[in-house]
Amino acid sequence: MALEMRKSSKWWYGRFSVNGKVRCVNLKVKIAGQRPADGMEEGDRKFERSRYKALAAFENLTAEVAGKRRATEYVQQLHQIRTGRRIESIPLADLAKEWECLPRKRRVEDVYLTTAKARIRRFVVFMAKKHPKVVLMSEVTQDMALGFLRTEEDHGLAGRTWNGVLAVLKSAFRMLATKGDVAVNPFDGIPTKDMDTVHRKPFSQLEMKAILDAVADDDFVRPIIIAGICTAMRRGDCCTLRWSSVDLKSNFVRVKTAKTGETVEIPLFALLRQEIEKHLGNGSEYVFPEQAEMYNRNDDGVSYRVRKAFERAGFYDVDPEAQSDEVPAVDERPLLPVAELLERVATFLNAIPAGALDADKRVRMIEACKLYMGGANLPAVALQMGISKASVSVYLSEIERRTGLRVKRFNSAAVVRVRPKQLGEVTTARGAGQRRVSVRDFHSFRVTWITLALAAGVPMELVTRVTGHHTVDVVLKHYFRPGREDFRKAIENAMPGMLVSAPTRLLAGNVEYAEVPGPSEVLDTALSALDGMTAANWSKRRADVIRAVRQAKEWIDGRVLREMR
C-alpha cells in the first residue's frame, strides 16, 4: 500500500489490495508546492503538508475497506455456520448458463430460451466493454443496468422488445440473488416502456382459399398450414404433432403446447382429418415427420417455406423502387472465384456479434457454403451435413442476403417468374430506425381462428380451452381482430331490431330517415338480373344474383334471430 503521484494529474492517489485485486483510487487531495524529482524525497513545506493530508485520507480509506472486509467476513462466517458453505457471487460470464440451469415448473420453449440467453449475453458483452473491472453479479449497480438499456434503446428496439430485455435480466438477477450474493436487484425500479403493438392481421375466407390453392401441390407446407388453419396451434405444435395426440374415433386433437405447457383440446375438422389420414402408417411418432425433422433441426427453414407459399398466394412486400412485379431468375452479380468468395463470406459472418447470429448456425452456414462452392449440389450438401435440402438453400440465401455476394449458381436460360396479384403485405413499417414487423405469417392462422370463432358466437371459455390462454384479456387484446364489416354485422345482430333496421320510410318532424331495402326489394333486384342475363354478361349478372340472394337471407336470418332474443 502506498501513495502515488502522476505526472499528468494534480491529485494524490492511493494504491492498495482487496481480495487479491490491486486498486488505485483518487484521494481527492491536491498536490501543493514544488514537487521533488523523486516522490520519495522530501519537498517544500506546502508539498509535505499536502502529502500528510493525502496520507490521512489514505489511512481513512484503508480503514474503511478493512472494516467492510471484516463485516463481510463476519457475514460469511455466519452464513457458513448456518448453511455449511460460504457466500460466493456468480461471475457475469456464467450468468446465461446459471439462468438456463435454474429449476422451472414447466419446460421453456427452445425459441424463448435462445432469445433470452442472447439478451443476457448482450448485457455481459456490454459490461465487459464498459465496465471491465466488474466481473461478478454482486458488483452490478443500477447505473450500469440503465447504461445497458440505453444502448439497447439506441439500437432501435421496439417498446415490446425492450421490455422483454428488461424482464429477462430482472428475472435472472432476482432468481439468482441468493446464489449470486445480490443484495439489491439493479434492474428493480426501472419502468417498462409503452408498447405500440402491431397486431397480426387475420385472413378472410377468400384469402385462406387463395393460400390453400397455392399449397395444393406442396406436400411439405400444405399439411402444417391446414393444421394451423383448423386448430389455431402455433407453428411448432403443428410441425411436431404426434399420433398420440390425435383421436380419430372421437374427432379430437389433444396437445400439450410447447410454449405454455397447457393441454388443449381441439375438434378435428374434416379438412385436417382428410390431411392426417394421408399420413396413416408412416412409421413415425410424428404425423408429419419431414416437417418435424426440419423444425427440430432448423425452424427457419419452415418459416422460409411458409413465406414462399404466402408469396404464391399473393402475400408479399412490394419494393417501392421496383419497376415491375417480375422476379428475375438470373442473378446479374458476378460469381467471384471460390477461394475469394469463401474468404469474404467467412470474414463477414465471423464479424457478426454473437447475439445477432447463433454460433452453431454460423458454423453450419460456412460449412454449407464451402461444400456448395466446392461443386456439390444441394442434395449432396444436405446429405454430407445431415440436414434437409431446404435448410441448405435457406443458409445460402441468408448468406447472400447478409453479405450482398452471389453464392448460388443460376441457370442463365431460366424463365422470368411473375408474381401473382398482391393481396396484402406480410410486414409493415414502424417508427424511424426500427425494423419492419410481421403482420401476416404462420401465427396469423391462430389470430384468424380465434377471430372467426368469437365473431360466430363461440363462448370465450371454449375458445380459451382450444388456445390454452389463461386470461380473456390476452385473447381480446392480441387475437380478436375482426374486420370493420364483420364487426358491424356482429353488433347489428346483437342489438334490438328497432335500432338496426328500418323497412319503411320514417318521418320525425322535418328529418327524413333513409329506407333500408327489405328482402322483397332485394329479391326483385335478383329477378331483374336473371331476366336480363345473356351470354355476354352472365358472369356479372350471376354475381349480382348471388349477392342479392345472400343479402336477403342475411336480412331474414338477422330479423328472426333478433325476434327470438
Distance CA 561, CA 565 (A): 6
350 and 406 in a single domain? The answer is: yes
31 and 96 in a single domain? The answer is: no
113 and 169 in a single domain? The answer is: yes
Domain's final residue, options 180, 199, 230: 180
In a domain, 366, yes or no: yes
In a domain, 420, yes or no: no
Distance CA 326, CA 328 (A): 6
In a domain, 250, yes or no: no
Confirm whether pTM is higher than 0.85.
Answer: no
Task: Count CB neighbours of 139 within 10 A.
Answer: 16
With contact defined as beta carbons under 8 Å apart, do 333 and 405 qualify? yes
Buried b (16+ CB within 10 A) or exposed e, 373-396: beebebeebbeebebbebbbbbbb
Distance CA 492, CA 494 (A): 5
Distance CA 300, CA 279 (A): 24
Report pLDDT for 554: 67
131 and 164 in a single domain? The answer is: yes
99 and 175 in a single domain? The answer is: yes
Domain count, the chain: 4
Task: Count CB neighbours of 191 within 10 A.
Answer: 7
The closest alpha carbon to 173, from 126, 203, 197, 141, belongs to 141
Q: How far apart, in Å, do the first and last CA atoms of the chain sit?
A: 90
339 and 369 in a single domain? The answer is: yes
In a domain, 271, yes or no: no
Phi, psi (deg, nearest 5) at residue 232: 65, 15
In a domain, 119, yes or no: yes
Note down the domain range covering 14: 2-83
In a domain, 229, yes or no: no
112 and 56 in a single domain? The answer is: no
Quick one: cell of 173?
438477477
- What CATH number is associated with residue 384? 1.10.10
Q: How many CA atoms lie within 13 A of 146 on its CB side?
A: 7
In a domain, 474, yes or no: no
56 and 102 in a single domain? The answer is: no
Chain centroid to Cα 278, Å, comes to 33
The closest alpha carbon to 207, from 66, 281, 309, belongs to 309
Distance CA 106, CA 256 (A): 11
338-350 helix and 359-373 helix, angle to the nearest 10 degrees? 170
Distance CA 398, CA 365 (A): 9
Phi, psi (deg, nearest 5) at residue 438: -75, 135
With contact defined as beta carbons under 8 Å apart, do 463 and 453 qualify? yes
65 and 111 in a single domain? The answer is: no
Domain's final residue, options 180, 209, 234: 180
Domain's final residue, options 83, 118, 135: 83
Quick one: cell of 360?
452453431
61 and 127 in a single domain? The answer is: no
Amino acid identity, position 139 = E
336 and 411 in a single domain? The answer is: yes
**Do you know the residue count of the chain?**
565
Give me the residues paired with residue 397 across strands.
none
In a domain, 71, yes or no: yes
Give me the residues paired with residue 256 across strands.
263
- pLDDT tens for the chain, 565 residues: list them: 578 888 788 888 888 776 666 778 888 888 888 888 776 678 888 888 888 888 888 888 777 766 655 555 555 555 455 555 555 678 888 998 888 888 877 677 676 788 888 899 999 999 999 888 888 888 888 889 999 988 888 776 767 788 888 999 999 998 888 888 777 888 988 888 765 556 777 888 888 889 999 998 888 999 999 999 888 888 888 999 999 999 898 888 888 877 777 788 888 888 889 999 999 999 999 999 999 988 888 778 888 889 889 988 898 887 655 444 444 444 555 667 778 888 888 888 888 877 677 778 888 888 888 888 877 888 888 888 888 887 888 888 888 877 777 777 644 333 445 678 888 888 877 665 566 778 888 888 888 887 777 766 767 767 777 766 555 454 444 444 445 454 445 434 543 443 334 443 333 334 333 344 555 666 667 777 766 667 666 677 777 777 777 777 766 665 544 444 4
63 and 104 in a single domain? The answer is: no
